[in-house]
Amino acid sequence: MSRQADLPKLNLPQPTLVARKGEKHDEILCLIRRKWVALEPEEWVRQHLIYHLSEELGYPMGLMAVEHTLILNDLSKRADLVCFNRDRNPILLAECKAPSIPLGQTALDQAARYNLVLKVPTLLLTNGLQHYVVATDPSQPIEVLKAIPKYESH
C-alpha cells in the first residue's frame, strides 16, 4: 500500500499529485522544484498549498520558492514556501506543518523570525487542516485575516 493512502484528506483543494514508491521511501513530484522528494506529511501539506495558491488564488508557480534559504543571526534557515511579486519582492511566507502538528505560538514565532529577514506583508501557518493568515504591515497592528489574499491584491 502506498504511503499516500495513509495521509489525511486536507482542508485544501485536492490537486492531482504524482507519487511513486522510491528505493528508501515514497516520493512525490514537487510542483515547483520539478523533482522527486520524500513524501513526508509536511511535504503533503506543502504540495496541496502550492496547488491552492496557484490554481485558486492566482500565485504564479514561477514566483514561488520552496525551502527558500535565508540568513538569520548568521545562521542559514529555510522557509517552507515564499511567494514573490513580479518585482521579485517576497509577499507571502508560508510555514507548513504536518497535519498531526497543532498550530500554535511556536509555529508563529518561527514564521515571525523568518519574517525579520523577508519582511512579507502576509504570513501563513498551515498544517493542511487549519490555516492562520496574518497581515504584518509594520504601520498597522497585526491582523488575523479570514482568508489568504489573492495574488493580485498584493
What is the structure's pLDDT at 137? 82
Residues whose CB is less than 8 angstroms from the CB of residue 121 and which lie 6 or more positions away in sequence, other chains included: 91, 92, 135, 136, 137, 154
Query: Whole-number mean pLDDT of the chain?
Result: 92
pTM over 0.85: yes
pLDDT the model gives residue 2: 45
* pLDDT grade for 138, boundaries at 50, 70 and 90: confident
**Would you say 70 and 79 are in contact if contact means Cβ atoms under 8 Å apart?**
yes
The C-alpha angle with vertex 125 and arms to 56 and 9, in degrees rounded to 5, equals: 60
Is the per-residue pLDDT at 40 higher than 60? yes
Residue 4 pLDDT = 55
Q: Which domains does the chain have, with CATH numbers?
A: 3-153 (3.90.1570.30)
